[in-house]
């Protein structure tokens, strides 16, 4: 026990004291927030002046509506302004890019080109010439049958500019819709008001009959899974390095003349994991402090803030399954580390196994649909999936306690077993430096050692 603690202490104190660790702990959140801020900053860069577009209106009456619609497009429309933040939260990345484009409030300079009896082809040639001379950036043709066909054409120097295309498309669409509505004697504002969508709010009926919104918990399940994934990406290599360290420095022989392989391997795993957990706790506390401060400021301004409402037992499950998920995958790195001689080799070997975690993410969807099925039961018992699938079951339709307990027991037993195997392989493999073990060899070592 004393030796086991000595191993943990060494792994922990050697790593926490490094400048790397301190730098990563301080800079980590900064880098992450930069990822959030930098794209927005880039999008807000306004390169060049307004986009100059010539409009050829063959219908003879659409230009003023189109002009109004395109110029207004950058400003929020009444009914959208009600829930802009909710929309921003749910947006997928492509939506977000488009919105960022809109936020840019790209300015347009429109110019109507009267046909004046000339054939359209001649006008196109003239406008094409102006585009080449860089007098305008493009031209838009509204055909005479625009209201019936719903098709317009845009010719531009930069036809791939999705923002410009989107603005023009939206503007022309709106103009056409309003023109059509006006043709049918319907007021556009009334239509917008009447076609506002319905929001479905969901409540969960739990064992004890309490009701609560489950949306936040889903986000938390995926957040937990994501944090497991990130932590493994960051610390898997560290564990690999810790296991290989004594092989590379040839210290293993002294170690094994003093300590058994299992406490050594377990000590390393726990020592490095404590480093990871220290870092996560610091980040977590910083985030919590920031969030509490933020909530305080918002409340002081009289804005209502909904704090996620999670039962303490669910919070405990989250913690336990997070630890399980982390340790199951961390042990894989320890196991791989016991077989290979360099960290590069180990990283390549461990990667395919870590992809199981991605599979677990996908498995969450069938489990959400039927959390009570036999399928859901088995995938929530399998230790490589349970950290995510069991959490999904807990927040959807909480399974009986024995299932949760069994899943945890299977998971942590797997961790202990894999660590024991890793220790065996490590000790035997150490006797043959410089050679990677083959699978049959490894199997023999596990049985013999």
Binding site for other proteins (CB under 8 A): 2-3, 6-7, 9-10, 14, 245-246, 249-251, 253-260, 427, 431-433
Residue closer to other proteins (CB basis): 168 or 264: 264
Residue closer to other proteins (CB basis): 55 or 243: 243
Please report the DSSP string for 273-289 in residue order.
Answer: HHHHHHHHHHHHHHHHH
Give a three-class secondary structure readout of 194-235. Answer: HCCCCCCCCCEECCCCCEECCHHHHHHHHHHHHHHHHHHHHH
Other CB atoms within 10 Å distance of the CB of residue 155? 14
Residue closer to other proteins (CB basis): 268 or 393: 268
Residue closer to other proteins (CB basis): 256 or 283: 256
Closest by alpha carbon to 278, among 34, 48, 5, 28? 28
393, burial (CB in 10 Å: exposed 0-12, middle 13-18, buried 19+): buried
Residue closer to other proteins (CB basis): 12 or 321: 12
Residue closer to other proteins (CB basis): 275 or 357: 275
Residue closer to other proteins (CB basis): 11 or 174: 11
Q: Give the nearest distance from C-beta 264 to other proteins in angstroms.
A: 9
| Phi, psi at 112, each rounded to 5° | -90, 135
Other CB atoms within 10 Å distance of the CB of residue 395? 22
Q: Give the nearest distance from C-beta 267 to other proteins in angstroms.
A: 10
Q: Give the nearest distance from C-beta 250 to other proteins in angstroms.
A: 4
Q: Give the nearest distance from C-beta 21 to other proteins in angstroms.
A: 13
Q: Give the nearest distance from C-beta 432 to other proteins in angstroms.
A: 8
243 to 121, 353, 358, 434: CA distances (angstroms): 74, 18, 25, 15
Q: Give the nearest distance from C-beta 27 to other proteins in angstroms.
A: 21
Residue 67 to residue 109: CA distance in whole angstroms: 9
β-bridge partners, 111: 54
Residue closer to other proteins (CB basis): 100 or 449: 449
What does the DSSP 8-state code read for residue 342? S
Q: Give the nearest distance from C-beta 380 to other proteins in angstroms.
A: 39
156 in helix, strand or coil?
strand
Q: Give the nearest distance from C-beta 425 to other proteins in angstroms.
A: 14
Residue 362 to residue 385: CA distance in whole angstroms: 10
Q: Give the nearest distance from C-beta 251 to other proteins in angstroms.
A: 4
Please report the DSSP string for 316-341 in residue order.
Answer: HHHHHHHHHHHHHHHHHHHHHHHH-S
Residue closer to other proteins (CB basis): 8 or 56: 8
What's the order of all strands across the beta sheet hosting 51-57? 108-112, 51-57, 138-142, 153-156
């Amino acid at each position: 026990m004393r030796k086991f603690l000595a191993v943990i202490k060494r792994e922990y104190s050697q790593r926490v004291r490094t400048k790397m660790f301190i730098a990563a702990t301080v800079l980590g959140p900064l880098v992450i927030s930069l990822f959030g801020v930098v794209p927005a900053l880039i999008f807000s860069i306004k390169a060049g002046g307004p986009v100059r577009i010539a409009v050829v209106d063959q219908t003879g009456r659409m230009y003023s509506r189109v002009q109004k619609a395109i110029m207004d497009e950058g400003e929020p429309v009444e009914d959208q302004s009600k829930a802009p933040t909710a929309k921003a939260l749910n947006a997928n990345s492509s939506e977000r890019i488009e919105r960022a484009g809109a936020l840019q409030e790209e300015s347009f300079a429109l110019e109507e080109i009267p046909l004046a009896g000339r054939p359209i082809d001649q006008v196109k040639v003239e406008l094409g010439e102006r585009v080449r001379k860089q007098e305008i950036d493009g031209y838009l043709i509204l055909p005479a049958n625009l209201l019936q066909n719903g098709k317009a054409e845009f010719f531009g120097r930069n036809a791939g500019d999705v923002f410009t295309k989107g603005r023009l498309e939206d503007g022309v669409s709106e103009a056409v819709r309003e023109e059509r509505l006006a043709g049918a004697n319907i007021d556009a504002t009334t239509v917008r008001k009447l076609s506002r969508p319905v929001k479905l709010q969901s409540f969960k009926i739990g064992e004890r009959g309490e009701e609560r919104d489950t949306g936040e918990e889903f986000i938390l399940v995926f957040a937990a899974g994501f944090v497991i994934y990130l932590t493994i990406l960051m610390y898997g290599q560290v564990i690999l390095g810790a296991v290989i360290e004594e092989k590379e420095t040839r210290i293993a022989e002294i170690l094994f003349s003093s300590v058994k392989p299992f406490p050594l391997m377990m000590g390393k795993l726990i020592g490095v994991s404590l480093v990871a957990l220290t870092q996560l706790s610091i980040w977590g506390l910083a985030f919590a402090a920031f969030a509490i401060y933020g909530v305080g400021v918002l409340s002081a301004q009289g804005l209502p803030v909904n704090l996620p409402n999670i039962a303490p037992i669910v919070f405990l499950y989250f913690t336990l399954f997070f630890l399980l998920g982390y340790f199951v995958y961390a042990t894989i790195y320890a196991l791989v580390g016991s077989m290979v001689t360099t960290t590069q080799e180990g990283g390549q070997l461990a990667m395919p196994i870590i992809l199981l975690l991605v599979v677990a993410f996908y498995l969450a969807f069938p489990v959400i649909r039927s959390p009570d099925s036999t399928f859901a039961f088995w995938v929530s018992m399998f230790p490589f999936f349970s950290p995510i699938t069991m959490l999904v079951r807990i927040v959807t339709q909480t399974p009986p306690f024995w299932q949760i307990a069994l899943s945890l027991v299977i998971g942590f037993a797997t961790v202990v077993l894999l660590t024991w195997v890793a220790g065996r392989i490590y000790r035997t493999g150490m006797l043959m430096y410089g050679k990677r073990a083959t699978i049959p060899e490894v199997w023999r070592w596990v049985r013999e050692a």
